[in-house]
Amino acid sequence: MKTFFSWSIPLVLAAVLLSAGAAAQEKPIVSLPYNHYYSHAEIGSLLRDFEKKYDRFLSLQSIGKSTLGREIWVMTVNNPDTGPEDQKAAMYIDANIHGNEVQGAEAVIYTLDYLMTNYGHIDRVTDLVDTYVFYLLPMVNPDGRMHWFDTSRFSGGGRSGMQPTDDDNDGLFDEDGYDDIDGDGYILRMRKKVENGDYIISPEDPRLMERAAPGQTGDYIMLGTEGIDNDGDGRINEDGAGGYDMNRNWPADWQPDYIQSGAGTRPFSYPETEAIGTFFLSHPNIAGVQSYHNSGGMILRGPGSKDEEPYSRSDLQVYDYIGREGEKILPFYRYYVIYEDLYTVHGGFINWTAEGLGIFSFSNELWSSRQYYNSAVPEEDRSSRGNSGQKERLFFDDHVEMGRQFIEWKPAVHPQYGNIELGGWARETGRVPPMFMLEELCHRNTMFTLFHAEQMPVVAIDTISVTSLGRGSYRVWVTIRNSKVIPTISDIAAKRHLVTPDILSLEGKSSTVTAAGFVRDIYTGRTDPVENRYERVAIPGGIPGQSAVTVQFIVSGAGRCTAAFVSSKGGKTVKTFMLQ
Amino acid sequence: MKKLLLITVAGLFLCSGVTRGSVPENAPDYREMTRRLKQLVKTHENYATLESIGKTGEGRDIWLVRISDPGTGDPGGKSALLVCSTINADYLVGGTAIIALTERILARAVTDTAIAGMLKKHTLYLLPRLNPDGSDYLINGAVAPYSSNRVPFDDDHDGLVDEDGPEDLDNNGLITVMRVKRWDATHVATSGDKRLLREADTQNGETPVYRLYSEGIDNDGDGTINEDGPGGVCIDRNFPHAYPYYQPGAGPYMTSEPETRAIIDFLSTRKHVAAVLVYAPFDNIIQPPEPERKRQAETPANDIRRFMRARSAPAGLDPADLSVYTKISSLYKDLVYARPPAQAVPEKPAGSLTQWAYYQYGVVSLSSPFWQIPSPAEEDKGPRGKKEKNGGSEETLLRWIESAHITNGFVPWKPYTHPELGEVEIGGFNPLVTWNPPQLPDSLIDKQLGFIVRVTDLFPELVLETFSVTREADRVYRIEAVVKNRGFFPTVLAQGATAGSVTPTRATLTGTDFTLLEGQMHQFLPPLSGSGGAVKAAWLIHAGAGTKMTLTVVSEKAGTIRHPFTLSAQE
């Protein structure tokens, strides 16, 4: 804006007076600031504001309450003028199932903001909103998010939900978590100066600690994350808030806790996962899923473990197309398979949506520490091997963040350890981007996820050709075309019966259908018969991406007929024609 | 009056070996069951409580009766046995048997020494019907081969839900079989009894005659009969161990059903349950489960956390747990079956409650039919290698139906004109006759009750074998406790330790003012084997004479010991 004003006023006037188009170009692409992490209450209120402002498209609902009673908000984006919600393919986007992985919520809100602000101004945005439905769920785990906000100021706090769990088997629940010993609002690292330690202050930077080399005597010991022995059992921080992983609580390839840590007693054992499971089962139109996490810069797809079958070739073509385009949209992000490139996950959320519901699903790990620099770090600023990446982060913090993210070591008194020092990284670094880079993260991930959404099926009855076979009998070919990349029914869904088959039905007041078949070759006319229910042909494999299916009906009678195609993820389309 | 009648009928059975009646027996429907359970609990309100552990798909309560002696401590703290049945809707006998057991236990809770003794030390949870929706469908409707619950399910995946169920075409109250002479036949009448059918042996030149269909019509015109009846999820295939993903009856996903969730959630919050006994048409009592051969015996970590993680679920029983199952098996053979049934019924592997309770909940998990067709004498056994039904061939079953005078056990084939198939014959076995007797033998209820008492006798039980406080120096005391398991079960099954679902036994020292010099505030004890497995726990403390202290030992399955003591000034 400043630059804008420093230009000449006549230019502004000219723009306003002469060209509406130029004025449109200057419209902001989003309405909210994305240099701030929003609390649960702030998100609730901004979602209500959006709903009020764009009431034609938006409806906000709470699909359930978290363990601590916070609303789990879902915003539905649908243009009712272009058809009801359940007759359009829907893109589901959520975030923050791990409470501490906060920035996904801002990315989801950015998507909402971007779609609404640019509707009617950018053609592709208008098309997206008119063609599809969006379900936007910014906080799966609001309790964990607020734990990260209010309690810990520690980047690792709040991954779990807040259902009390007896992590140390002592019959008490969540009785020994982190403590802010010096009351500065931060959970930091603890170190203690001793005669014979195993750590030294790094010669590279006095803020960093290094293990003493062989032959060298250390003068510090490291004592872990800030906390005391709250329950007098001789252990520190052994039973903190929660203690489970809601992203291991979904019913595809679910394994109990002894195989998959944090899984819960059964799938959907937490109110948050239960609410979302119910939402999916009542919204079979969901055709695309994105679930934001942090961090590492990844575009993840399943399978989550070797126990699950590899994806079929035709499904992989779709995944690979979207994933590889994503690597270009998101610099520093890599398109990965969870169990091959990351680690094994049993019972993960997108494993359920992909492998248990047959929906094309991705999970982006937002933010990579490689993004601190857009080019290689100069040799002299790189860490030695003992301090992998730390020196670069300090350099960045010193020069680009005015040093606000590293809390200098300072003395404190610990009830068990005596005189110690506290110091280390603050909350908003490492796993989350620096505040000034949050907006770009939100924008680029929104672009990737909208690209994913644009691939969802759009189905139309392409042609209906009627050929007379004699007096009052006709051969009718109905061709249904899917113009997008994602099929109406994925291969895995067809094989496992996860999605109701697409149905093509034909009816007329003065006609009957006497036979039906699938036309395999429209040029030679080769047709495989349908065995029964000729007027209601089930297409269990759906309409593949960028392809068409032609069904033949033999009809006797006369007059007007209606062909209707109904698909869970491909919507409903109807066309009438005359037998002549 | 009712009781007298029962005894008379049982007397008849014992004398002549002959029973009479029709199948199913007069099983109460949900309303009647609810009324009877409420009445029972009201009559015995000191000993019994009734709770609903959840609602079914159709909104019925899943009733559970808890029985324990109120004078011997919190029923929620005593080691407990859960007895559960009618998971499959057509296994009506199990629920009826549990109601009968409940009545009998309560009637004798004070007078019978063995039962009174059991209720002093233990708590019983009795859950007659996990699937009351399914059983009511059978009790109030046609008798059909039906095991699932009533949550609508698109079995044939055609986009229509529950649109093609069976019809009682011959109006006899039973859904049986239609046999049709057709070009695509598969079966022939058996050479012995022409009423019975078997697959034609085309390899040996036999020409098939009949094609078989379930009794009903093709309601939805898809060319298939009865392929999508009401409901469709089999609760005992819906549990999350070895879950049969995407298989018929397993449901849309693991633990999708309200009944499955209700019992998992119940047990997960009642960790004092030490064994689960299921009456179902599957056995792992007479024939104990196979131990997994390759498995290494592991010593479980007894720390606050179990860092041990398995890569995958075990395929069989942990060999260390076999002795418990072998012991129970021999008890059962002694107490319940003087003459074992013709053949043991193998344990159902995939997605069952029985499997879940052992592999994930980590307790002794038993499954057996409550009642089985008596095994025929040696000379009466039919030809070998024929289709097995409840441990015998169809010939055996038919002979038993005739000798026991079960009026509706087998329907003679009768012609019928079918709207789609033309001329057919309808007949065959009553779908419930295999597992459900017309009358539960009274003596069997007593035998099964005796078995329950003996199983609870085997439960682990912790005692403080020795306890000593030694003054080592001024204000320095050594405390030693030997804790012993005098039950037969170990305090934690090997699989309970592997699964981490049974919390390790915890010995905790508390006091007004003391400092630990050696040992931990919470000492985690290893699993103690049965019949005297013991461990010593020791602490060295710094405290003044006269300090009041307490040693508490907490075991989920073997009870709690509280031992208060005072530090003395003398040696």
* Mean of the per-residue pLDDT values of chain B: 89
Q: How confident is the model at residue A416 (pLDDT cuts 50, 70, 90)?
A: very high
pLDDT, position A376: 67
pLDDT tier at A2 (50, 70, 90 boundaries)?
Answer: very low
Q: Identify any residues that bridge with A176 across adjacent strands, giving them in sequence order.
A: A239
Average pLDDT over residues B512-535: 94
Structure tokens at A111: 């998507």
Distance, in angstroms, between A343 CA and closest chain B CA?
Answer: 13
Q: Is the pLDDT of residue B338 over 80?
A: no
Token pair 């060999």: residue: B319
Tell me what the pLDDT averaged over chain A comes to: 93
Contact residues, chain A, for B504 at CB < 8 Å: 169
Per the CB < 8 A criterion, the answer to whether A112 and A91 are in contact is no
- At residue B471, φ and ψ (nearest 5 deg) are -85, 110
**Residues B68/B45, Cβ–Cβ less than 8 Å:** no
Q: What is A459-579's CATH number? A: 2.60.40.10
Residue B354 has pLDDT above 60, yes or no: yes
Q: Tell me the residue length of chain A.
A: 580
> What integer pLDDT is reported at residue A467 of this predicted model?
97
Closest alpha carbon within chain A to B254: A251
Cβ–Cβ under 8 Å, residues A155 and A430: yes
Kindly give, in sequence order, each residue whose CB lies less than 8 Å from that of residue B419, ignoring residues fewer than 6 positions away: B217
- The helix-helix angle for B442-457 and B2-16 (nearest 10°) equals 100
Binding-face residues of B in 479-538 toward A, CB within 8 A: 498-501, 503-504, 506, 508, 516, 520-522, 524
pTM of the complete model = 0.93
Pick from A569, A546, A323, A357: nearest CA to A451:
A323
All residues of chain B having their beta carbon less than 8 Å from the beta carbon of residue A268 are 255, 261
Domain with CATH 3.40.630.10 in chain A: 31-147+244-367+434-454
Positive/negative CA dihedral, B155, B158, B162, B164:
negative
Report the pLDDT value the prediction gives residue A153, as an integer from 0 to 100. 67
Q: Would the pLDDT of B373 be above 80?
A: yes
Alpha helices in B122-220 (DSSP H): 132-140
For range A264-271, the mean pLDDT: 98
**Statement: residue B303 has pLDDT above 60:** no
The pLDDT-based confidence of B428 (bands split at 50, 70, 90) is very high
The whole-number average pLDDT for the span A447-463 is: 98
- Is A170–B522 a contact, with Cβ atoms under 8 angstroms apart? yes
Quick one: pLDDT at residue B372?
Answer: 87
d(C-alpha A81, C-alpha B124), whole Å: 61
Class of the B27-138+232-295+315-372+437-457 domain? alpha beta
Going by C-alpha positions, the residue among A84, A157, A106, A244 that lies closest to residue A430 is A157
Four-residue CA torsion sign, A73, A76, A77, A79: negative
The pLDDT tens digits of the residues spanning A503-521 come to 999 999 999 999 999 999 9
Q: In this predicted structure, what is the pLDDT of residue A461?
A: 97
Q: Cα separation of A221 and A209, whole Å?
A: 10
d(CA A472, CA A478): 19
Three-state DSSP string of A404-420: CCEEEEEEEEECCCEEE
Domain boundaries, given as residue ranges, for chain B: 27-138+232-295+315-372+437-457, 158-227+379-429, 462-566
Residue A307 C-alpha, separation from nearest chain B C-alpha, in angstroms? 9
Band of residue A385 on the pLDDT scale cut at 50, 70, 90: low
pLDDT over 50 (residue A580): yes
For A266, the closest of B264, B304, B308 (CB atoms) is: B264
- pLDDT score of A77 more than 80: yes
Q: Is A267's CB within 8 Å of B240's CB?
A: yes
Encoding tokens for residue B244?
């049969």
- Residue B26: its pLDDT value, please? 78
Question: Range(s) for CATH 2.60.40.10 in chain A?
Answer: 459-579
Question: Above 70 in pLDDT, residue B304?
Answer: no
Record the tokens describing residue B488, joined without a space: 């037969």
Nearest CB to B255: which of A266, A356, A532? A266
A31-147+244-367+434-454 has which CATH code? Answer: 3.40.630.10
| Cβ–Cβ < 8 Å for A481, A460 | yes
Residue B391 pLDDT > 90, yes or no?
no
- Of 2.60.40.10, 2.140.10.30, 3.40.190.10, 1.10.10.10, the CATH number of B462-566 is 2.60.40.10
**CA-to-CA distance for B222 and B281, rounded, in angstroms?**
33
Structure tokens at B28: 């109460």
Q: Is the pLDDT of residue A555 over 50?
A: yes
Partners of A232 on chain B (C-beta within 8 Å) are 521
pLDDT band at A12 (very low <50, low <70, confident <90, very high): very low
With tokens 């995958």, the residue in question is: B312
Query: Contacts from B550-553 at CB under 8 Å and sequence distance 24+?
Result: B550/B509, B550/B510, B550/B511, B551/B464, B551/B467, B551/B479, B551/B481, B551/B507, B551/B508, B551/B509, B552/B507, B552/B508, B552/B510, B553/B462, B553/B464, B553/B481, B553/B483, B553/B505, B553/B506, B553/B507, B553/B508, B553/B525
The Cα–Cα gap between B277 and B449 comes to 12
Beta-strand runs (E) in B289-403: 364-368, 388-389, 392-393
Average pLDDT over residues A480-492: 98
Residues A257-285: what's their mean pLDDT?
A: 97
CA separation (Å) from A28 to A31, A105, A349, A500? Answer: 7, 21, 35, 42
pLDDT of residue B18: 45
DSSP per-residue letters across B156-167: T-SS-SS-B---
- When pLDDT is averaged across residues B391-402 and rounded to a whole number, the result is 82
pLDDT of residue B427: 97
Distant-in-sequence contacts of B245-252, Cβ < 8 A, 24+ apart? B245/A496, B246/A496, B246/A497, B246/A498, B247/B350, B248/B155, B249/B147, B249/B148, B250/B350, B250/B351, B251/B153, B252/A281, B252/B153
pLDDT band at B394 (very low <50, low <70, confident <90, very high): confident
CB A435 within 8 A of CB A428: yes
- Please state whether the peptide bond connecting residue A267 to the residue before it is cis, i.e. omega within 30 degrees of 0: no
Residue B19's pLDDT band (cuts 50, 70, 90): low
As a whole-number percent, the residues of chain B with pLDDT over 70 amount to: 88
Give yes or no for residue B485 having a pLDDT over 90: yes
Q: How far apart are CA B438 and CA B440, in angstroms?
A: 7
Chain A residues with CB within 8 Å of chain B CB: 166-171, 232-235, 238, 251-252, 254-259, 261, 265-269, 281, 307, 352, 356, 496-498, 500-501, 503, 531-533, 538, 540
Alpha helices for B177-290 (secondary structure H):
258-269
Residues A452-477 as b or e (16 or more Cβ within 10 Å = b): bbbbbbbbbbbebebeeeeeeebbbb
- Do A168 and B304 count as a contact with CB atoms less than 8 A apart? yes
* Interchain pair A171, B506: CB under 8 A: yes
CB hemisphere CA count around B452 (13 angstroms): 32
Side chain identity at residue A489, one-letter code: I
The CB density around residue B181, as the number of other CB atoms within 10 Å, is: 13
- To test the contact with chain A by mutation, choose from B233, B254, B265, B318 the residue with the greatest count of A C-beta atoms within 10 A, namely B254
The residue among B438 and B265 whose pLDDT is bigger is: B265
Mean pLDDT of A363-388: 78
The DSSP secondary-structure symbol of A179 reads -
